[in-house]
Structure 1
Amino acid sequence: MPKAIGYTPAWLSKPNPGYKIFNGAPSAANASYSSTSANTSRKRVSKPGPRRTIARRGTEIFTAVGKEIRWADLVYLKEAWESKQPKERRSRRQLEEDEEDEESQYDGDHAQGYRTLKTPVADDIRQIIISPHSNYLAILTTHTVHIGVLPESSHLTAPDTAPMKLKTYTLGPTTHVTSQSGIASALWHPLGVQGQCLVTVTEDAIVRVWELTIGNHSSFDKPTLSIDLKKLADGTSLDQDFGASVSGQSKGFTPDSIEMEVASACFAGRNSGGWSPMTLWVAMKEGDVYALCPLLPERWSPPATLIPSLSISVIAKAATMEGQLNVSQQQSRLAQQQIAWMGDLDNQEPIYQEYGSGEPHVEVYIRPAKPGKVPKLQGPFEFELAPEESEDGLDDMLTDIFVIGPKIDSEELMSGEEDDLELPGIDEEGGLSVGVVCLLRPSGRLCICLDLDGVEAQWLPKSKSKALRILDEADPPELLTFQVLDTLKSEEMWDGNWPMFSQDVNSGYSLFVTNTSTVTFISLSPWVFRLETELSGEAAGGEFRLDVLVKGQSTLRERVYTGKAKPNDHTLSLAASTVICDPDLGYFLLTATQYGPQSISFELPEVEDYNPIQRSCSNTYESEPDKPLILCEPRPVYQAPHELEQPSKLPDLLKNLRHSPHKRILKENVRLSKATFQIMNEAHIILGDETHHIGVAAAELFRRCELLQIDLQSQIKKAHDVAQRVEAIAGEEDEEGTGTISTDEAIDTRIMRAKGRQKELTERVERLKKKVLKGTAGKELTPREREWVDEIRKYEWKVLGEGEPVSVSVGGRREVAREPFERFKEVQELEKVILEDVKALAGALVPSTPGNGNGNEGPGEKMGVKVPSEVRRRKEREIMKALERETALVEGAKLRLERLSLV
């Protein structure tokens, strides 16, 4: 989700040149106010339609203002404005550059970054579309198309800011005229050679393909392919004529003229997979969607991955059908047509053409003649899981369409290859293996649909045959409605609203929706990659996860701009947004009204795996000063309403009256007459409108002043909170109030205080101990304490033999009892005596029998006494048990005595 960090900067605001580029002078129709056309001009309402008046070439922009085209280099304008700022507001780098160059390149006598381009159009420009190679500009009014040849940037950047005449060619001088139907869309074909193929779609559903060649005027006079979609919808054979009607031919009313009135058309991206780059999607105002595939110019240039991927899919599909018995005749005929089309393409030898020196060459193919050059019109598409029909008619109509083609399956394309090659045109971002179709309605509702079946190339049969009877049996194509979002509130809807799509530059699955006064950011990324994982995987529980994914509100929707246009104010309608991402400008969105530009600056998206080159700074390097901390959320800069700057129309009325038949009334006294009443009525209408607009603007100014006070109080409060946090982190003031104490000093002080407190507590405890000992000294023992002492002495005598002996009563007399330690000592003495006797006997006696020679003779055997081994072992065991028992008694008594002494 992009985060707005700023709105229209100062270099695009009054009175800088960046603002004047978008601000057009009042047209003659609005400035003059004739007495004969006063009432009719008030009732005239402009026809709703798309307003795409901003195109870009890198950081250069072209904007249409009335009948003119303004050019500007945004980076040049920004740097020029920064160079003219006071020194305290400029960076150190700019100051050093100005010291080195006494004369700045941004002075008035040097090159300027803006220019006016004159065009031969007869009406206000409604759309400008730049070509894929940024060398041509399609200029559209409501009914006419002109192709302008854009000069190089070096020719546009010049000290002279006088208007420059743009070299233009009129496209279809007898076709696109005011007497014919208006133009709905003009698209540069993504597969055109050198980006010189233009496809125009008129409101009466006629598609024309123009293959332009600069210098060849005939290529601008007649299209190479013309298709009437109304005829094609009812067509049954390729032998029929589907071309447009003769220019000037009278047209009667038909139901198709209403149901097939075109609102918009579009192609998918050049690097999308399948048949998408050559599929023209057409959205009708009444809500129907059609597809025309394949729509190609006579000469076309595909990307490197297009033909191999199509060949693999067509061959795989035909091989799958051969092993099946239930294949319909419609599917079989379609597979044969696609194989014939691919066969014609494989038999061609591509023509290699270069754009210029240093640029790679491209492969140019000729459009296959089989099965035919006019494809079948697929549609109208049926919408599965579509929302219920609304009572509001705006929810059933369409204004714009945007299609994201499926991704290229690189694994299938590289199957069988030994090495993995990096193929151009494959998006590293990945994506969805099915197409996404986005539709916009006048109510601001956005419908996101999935093309699960995929649009493939289809043609009508060549002649009348059995295949004709199968056409009606084929099921209509379908689109699955994935999600429906609203971008407008109920009070913001009106009949003249015409929402438009604008693609984001950072992601293929992000876009902006521009309404009359709002801009909304839409991102499909949260669910696109998760859905692709579920569609491509075979893990258990996929149905449950898909159900959770579909029911969850996963599409990101965030309004990034809300203007101040009123629902019935046509003059403040926003143009389609243009998105720029440049190191000098940042992440930048630009739109405009008739009275000035509106822009939004976003935070740059986080780039993963970005490791900048680490360079060591020199000793003389001085870093740029840090940017100030943003305490409050950014908001659009207030600009005074344009009504306060508009000149009054009364002087024009008086000027027109001086040249009218009623000029004598201005010199005579006021008389009650019809002419006087008419003049007074017109003047009243002008004054009433102007005073009303000025009053509304003044009220808006008063409300903004009140809001400014509230915002100022909020900012002061936030600044106070931040100051308190900074003081808490940085430290406190010293006792004298001369400065602040650093964080380290404050921590050291706290540690010293804690140590001193601990020392005081230790001394206090020692003093308390001494007082306790003094208080208990000299007191007699209690009976229990005496008993405890006697018991300790008794155990001490029994175990250790220390202290006084304890006497017991035996037979009426007191005797000293034998204690365990005495018995233990007696046993030890007996042991010593017995061992000495045994050794003495062993040395005096001589053994009667020789030993066995192994040295294991027992003592009985050495003395000649034969003692049975069992008796000897039994006696030894008895002695050892007695010793162990006595030892255990003594040890237990010692342990008990020690515990008692500790207590």
Structure 2
Amino acid sequence: MPKVVGYTPPWLSRPSPGARLFTDPAPQSPTSPSKRSSYLSTPSSTQYQGPRRLVASRGTEVFTVVGNKIRWADLATVRDEWEENTQSGSNRFGPARTGAVQSTEDDAYRTLDVPIYYQIRQIAISPSGIFLAVCTEHTVHIAVLPPSSRLRDQDRSPLKLKTYQLGPTIHVIPESPLSAVLWHPLAAAGVSVDSIVTVTAEAAVRVWELDRSNKWSFERPSLAIDLRKLADGISCDQDFEPSGFGKTRGFSVDDFDMEVSAACFGGWGRDDEDAWASMTLWVAMRNGDIYALCPLLPSKWKPTSTSIPSLSTTAVSRMASIAGEEADMDERRAADQQYEWVQEIDNDEPLLMESTDSLGEFEIRLRPQNPSAIPRLQGPFAIQPEDDDQDIEISDIFVLPAKLDGEDLLAGEDVYDEFDLAAYAGVPFTTLCVATPHNELWFAIDLDGVSGQWLPKRGKSVFSVPTSDAKELTLIDTFALDDTGLDPAGNWPMFSGDVVHNYSVFLTTSRQVYSISLNEWVTRLAAELTGTEPVDPGLRTRLETSCQSQVCLVNKLVDSLEPKEVLSAPTVIDDVSLGYFLLATTLASVYAVFFDQAHFGTSIFEASSPELTATSPSRLNAQVARPNGGEDSNNLETLPTRSPYAPAPVFYANPLYPLEHMRQRLAPNLKRAIVEKPVRLSPAMLEVMTYAHRTIGAQSGELEKAAAELFRRCDRLREELGDQVKQMTELAQRLQNLQPSAEEDEAGHLREKKTRDARLKDAREKQAKLMARYEALRRKVGRVGSAKRELSSKEKAWIEEIDVLGENMGVKVDDQNVQNGRVEGNSRLDQRFQTVKQLAHELVEESKQLEKQQQEDQQSAATLKRGDSAVTSSMSTSTLSTSMSGSKSNMSASSSAPAFGVSSRLQKERIAEVMGMVEREGAVIEAVMNRLERLKVEY
């Protein structure tokens, strides 16, 4: 779990320009009012129940939605400018009073104009950073983002973006609302092309392949699938395209059972993921069912470095595993389809496309056409156990992909040593996280995994009749969050991925942001499942214990105190200079939580002054992340563990906004009656005045509560400061009155403990003695060998003795060979040693032949004694004579063996004597060589 090191910094708090980026102190007229809404309704966005993702980031750049406009700013520039003005003492960021200050406020951000009428609910930047998806409740608009250099221009005037609407006749108001808008992780993203997937509540999945040079790509999707039709499909040749606009539909139970609430891809397109993960679309229905669509790919896709080898290995191994077994027909057909699909990828030549970061070209692949471009709908997967009668409603789903088995993939390859197998460590199964509107979390794992499946072609044997029985996932844990003051009508929990930790995720409710970490549990479980030791009987017990223990660690990061404010899903930024932090917004405030950057290991960025260190968590984070600072950075508590007080948004809100909102929603005759004509008493006018009184009363009540809270905070701050001063005074007095106490020495006598100054003096004296001793040793070692004095008579006699001993032993020793580390041997000793070795080898061979001959003689004698036939006796006699003649010829050919009449006992004695002589000679030679080596080293 990421460790919190700070909260919202001053350069993101009021009255700095960073806060003005995310809030609007004087909002304009209400954006896109609904014609059917009553003019007496309360202006609140809590009636909308769906995802809110109003913040996106591209590096250090942030895009946010305020009102119905998109603002852009570079947070690094905002922070640097704030620090420069803080150091210079300028008060230009104070309350707006002059026109110059107002222009400074405008310099904090830049407005991006997009022609969108209805309220923006979601924004999402493509992984390439070129396109921005702007989504309302029913429509999707694709804006082309300019490069960062153009956005950083000094000109801060509004910039109009080139915008395309996806499917003007498909995503329209009368149709079903959008449930998810996802950029494909394996899209072949180029300078002007990309791929996006939209999922509607009516279970319509569409894959759009965007191309700026082809406007038709924004009009019609390249692939459209109706999941309700696909669930009942029996052949891939059927028409699974969603019904057109305005066509009548009959009643179906699937209208309620297959109402989509959320969708996500099973991976992020990384090398350490399972090959099927990033091409699997997980779709969660509102009633608790989960479906999987695998593989879902655009016509051109970009595989990772391990995708194709992993797919080939999986397809071949699956074909081999069911070849000799009596497998089910559906399983055999699925294996054949996977093999056919992967074989088409292997046979096609890769294409080249220009990279978006100008680093060259990369390879892309074409989507196979066989068996089909539309996969089979797998599921439903039930996350709820069968014995649980509780009704579950899903608001969002997040999938953690299974890790790739690097050893199985790279076994037998030449590049096996080039890969870091530690990067592929993880659990080999998919983990699913599900959230409900009642702030409940469900965690489950899919042990079987999801792989590519397709429906058969028409005319061939089809799959068995689809069953409605759900496949139950393995539920590992459930967790209930804080639901104090929960309003299920406006609460819609959303997941956001972490860019640093693979098994961490952030959950955003209507008022809180939580950090959820599965790292510890996954690490413990992966050690059991991927261990190199063989599986022991206690594995099942350990796995059950691991699943029964705490699975996730939950930490509350943000808690909004305003009941009417609804938090947007945060964005996570990880930058060396800016820091690693989370950024969440509401309609009137911004929340930031900074984490430590232990994954960087070190940083060269430091604060330039103590004031900035105390107020800039991102700069302080760089110092905390140093691993060689003499102390473990994970144990440093440098910042308070609670967020600082932020003034209530009502202090900065436009006081005329509620009345302006009400006046714009009045009927035309009432507007004229209020503005142009004298006010006359009537029931309608009384109703307007009553509602205006209630509006002003609610607004004044909020001001009173905010003022009371500010008073309580100030009073508590005064008390806490008094307590801190009192504690520091007591601590200073204790330090001044600290006296040394008595202690026992080695003899057991009491003596007065040394004071701090005395101990420091003793340490310095000891250090001086050590330095003097070191200096004396250094000088003594330096004098050794420096003076070229002559050798003494004893040393000369010793050298002569060594030379004579070496000549007597047959070893020639000279000064040059000793310096080079070599000792050359004379031919006399070498020849003697080689002769002894040859003699020993010949004797051993001769003894083996005699033993073999003796065994044959004994066998032939036993054969004659049993009284075999004459033929057998003659054969044995001839064999014996042949063996004798062969042994005699071998013995005569030997250089040192007697011819005949030698008994085996005498032969063994001779061999023993020779072996003893060899051992003695070898021992003498080895002792001489060792002594010469020692003498050489000493010399």
SS at match of 1:561: strand
1:731, distance to aligned residue in structure 2 (A): 7.9
The match for 1:321 is: 322
User: Percent of counterpart pairs with the same letter?
Assistant: 36
The match for 2:701 is: 695
Letter in 2 for 1:581: D
Residue 479 to residue 631, structure 1, CA distance change in 2 (3 Å): closer
Provide the C-alpha distance between the structure 2 equivalents of 1:703 and 1:612, rounded to a whole number of angstroms.
40
Contact 2:46/2:566, CA 8 A, preserved across alignment: no
Contact 2:405/2:424, CA 8 A, preserved across alignment: no
CA displacement, residues 261-298 of structure 1 (integer Å, 9 cap, x when unaligned): 11111112212213111100001112111000011111
SS at match of 1:194: coil
Residue 474 to residue 414, structure 1, CA distance change in 2 (3 Å): farther
* Match among 654, 667, 678 for residue 646 of structure 1: 654
Give the TM-score taking structure 2 as reference length: 0.69
Query: Are residue 580 (structure 1) and residue 573 (structure 2) matched?
Result: yes
Aligned length: 708
* Match among 193, 197, 220 for residue 195 of structure 2: 197
* Match among 504, 512, 522 for residue 506 of structure 2: 512
The match for 1:489 is: 483
1:5, distance to aligned residue in structure 2 (A): 3.4
Query: Are residue 541 (structure 1) and residue 534 (structure 2) matched?
Result: no
The match for 1:565 is: 562
The match for 1:270 is: 269
Query: Are residue 604 (structure 1) and residue 597 (structure 2) matched?
Result: yes
Provide the C-alpha distance between the structure 2 equivalents of 1:656 and 1:310, rounded to a whole number of angstroms.
59
Provide the C-alpha distance between the structure 1 equivalents of 2:495 and 2:665, rounded to a whole number of angstroms.
44
Letter in 2 for 1:639: P
The match for 2:683 is: 677
1:719, distance to aligned residue in structure 2 (A): 4.7
Residue 155 to residue 477, structure 1, CA distance change in 2 (3 Å): same
Aligned pairs for 1:757-776 (under 5 A) are: none
Larger Rg: 1
Letter in 2 for 1:541: G
Query: Are residue 402 (structure 1) and residue 395 (structure 2) matched?
Result: no
SS at match of 2:47: coil
1:433, distance to aligned residue in structure 2 (A): 1.0
The match for 2:168 is: 173
* Match among 413, 419, 425 for residue 417 of structure 1: 413
SS at match of 1:147: strand
Aligned pairs for 1:313-392 (under 5 A) are: 313-324=314-325, 326-355=326-355, 358-383=358-383, 385=385, 388-390=388-390
Residue 730 to residue 261, structure 1, CA distance change in 2 (3 Å): farther
Gaps of 5+ in 1: 91-105, 734-742, 753-903
Letter in 2 for 1:420: Y
CA displacement, residues 755-781 of structure 1 (integer Å, 9 cap, x when unaligned): xxxxxxxxxxxxxxxxxxxxxxxxxxx
Letter in 1 for 2:645: V
Contact 1:184/1:203, CA 8 A, preserved across alignment: yes
Contact 2:39/2:665, CA 8 A, preserved across alignment: no
Aligned pairs for 1:71-470 (under 5 A) are: 71-87=72-88, 112=107, 114-194=109-189, 196-267=194-265, 268-271=267-270, 272-324=273-325, 326-355=326-355, 358-383=358-383, 385=385, 388-390=388-390, 396-422=392-418, 428=423, 430-468=425-463, 470=464
SS at match of 1:381: strand
Contact 2:445/2:475, CA 8 A, preserved across alignment: yes
Letter in 2 for 1:138: A
Letter in 2 for 1:646: N
Contact 2:659/2:695, CA 8 A, preserved across alignment: no
1:505, distance to aligned residue in structure 2 (A): 2.1
Residue 714 to residue 631, structure 1, CA distance change in 2 (3 Å): farther
CA displacement, residues 692-738 of structure 1 (integer Å, 9 cap, x when unaligned): 232133124213422432343234324543554466568879xxxxx
Give the TM-score taking structure 1 as reference length: 0.72
CA displacement, residues 84-117 of structure 1 (integer Å, 9 cap, x when unaligned): 1154799xxxxxxxxxxxxxxx997999552100
1:129, distance to aligned residue in structure 2 (A): 0.7
SS at match of 1:21: helix
Aligned pairs for 1:464-863 (under 5 A) are: 464-468=459-463, 470-472=464-466, 476-537=470-531, 538-566=535-563, 569=564, 572-605=565-598, 610=601, 627=613, 632-642=640-650, 645-648=653-656, 649-650=658-659, 660=669, 663=672, 676-722=682-728, 724-725=730-731, 746-748=756-758
Runs of 4+ in structure 1 displaced over 6 angstroms? 30-36, 41-45, 106-111, 621-626, 651-659, 664-670, 730-733, 749-752
Residue 445 to residue 662, structure 1, CA distance change in 2 (3 Å): closer
SS at match of 1:403: strand
The match for 1:882 is: none
Residue 129 to residue 386, structure 1, CA distance change in 2 (3 Å): farther
Residue 511 to residue 696, structure 1, CA distance change in 2 (3 Å): same
Provide the C-alpha distance between the structure 1 equivalents of 2:129 and 2:436, rounded to a whole number of angstroms.
30
Provide the C-alpha distance between the structure 1 equivalents of 2:130 and 2:35, rounded to a whole number of angstroms.
43
CA displacement, residues 588-634 of structure 1 (integer Å, 9 cap, x when unaligned): 11000011211122333366xx4789x9x9xxx99978945968544
Provide the C-alpha distance between the structure 2 equivalents of 1:323 and 1:665, rounded to a whole number of angstroms.
87
Provide the C-alpha distance between the structure 2 equivalents of 1:36 and 1:323, rounded to a whole number of angstroms.
67
1:677, distance to aligned residue in structure 2 (A): 2.7
Provide the C-alpha distance between the structure 2 equivalents of 1:668 and 1:186, rounded to a whole number of angstroms.
50
SS at match of 1:645: coil
Letter in 2 for 1:552: S
Provide the C-alpha distance between the structure 2 equivalents of 1:710 and 1:489, rounded to a whole number of angstroms.
27
CA displacement, residues 810-852 of structure 1 (integer Å, 9 cap, x when unaligned): xxxxxxxxxxxxxxxxxxxxxxxxxxxxxxxxxxxxxxxxxxx
The match for 2:888 is: none
Contact 2:650/2:706, CA 8 A, preserved across alignment: no
Q: Could you tell which deviates more after superposition, 690-699 or 557-566?
A: 690-699
Provide the C-alpha distance between the structure 2 equivalents of 1:111 and 1:652, rounded to a whole number of angstroms.
25
Letter in 2 for 1:316: S
1:248, distance to aligned residue in structure 2 (A): 1.9
The match for 1:737 is: none
Contact 1:644/1:694, CA 8 A, preserved across alignment: no
1:27, distance to aligned residue in structure 2 (A): 4.7
SS at match of 1:413: helix
Contact 1:487/1:520, CA 8 A, preserved across alignment: no
Contact 1:191/1:278, CA 8 A, preserved across alignment: yes
SS at match of 1:39: coil
Q: Could you tell which deviates more after superposition, 528-537 or 641-650?
A: 641-650
Q: Could you tell which deviates more after superposition, 352-361 or 483-492?
A: 352-361
Letter in 2 for 1:685: Y
Residue 644 to residue 77, structure 1, CA distance change in 2 (3 Å): closer
SS at match of 2:473: strand
Provide the C-alpha distance between the structure 1 equivalents of 2:690 and 2:36, rounded to a whole number of angstroms.
12
Letter in 1 for 2:490: G
SS at match of 2:380: coil
Residue 178 to residue 135, structure 1, CA distance change in 2 (3 Å): same
SS at match of 1:245: coil
Provide the C-alpha distance between the structure 1 equivalents of 2:599 and 2:675, rounded to a whole number of angstroms.
70
Residue 152 to residue 113, structure 1, CA distance change in 2 (3 Å): farther
Residue 387 to residue 333, structure 1, CA distance change in 2 (3 Å): same
Q: Could you tell which deviates more after superposition, 109-118 or 653-662?
A: 653-662
Provide the C-alpha distance between the structure 2 equivalents of 1:427 and 1:136, rounded to a whole number of angstroms.
35
Residue 630 to residue 299, structure 1, CA distance change in 2 (3 Å): closer
Provide the C-alpha distance between the structure 1 equivalents of 2:108 and 2:671, rounded to a whole number of angstroms.
49
Provide the C-alpha distance between the structure 2 equivalents of 1:493 and 1:109, rounded to a whole number of angstroms.
40
Contact 1:135/1:149, CA 8 A, preserved across alignment: yes
Letter in 2 for 1:521: S
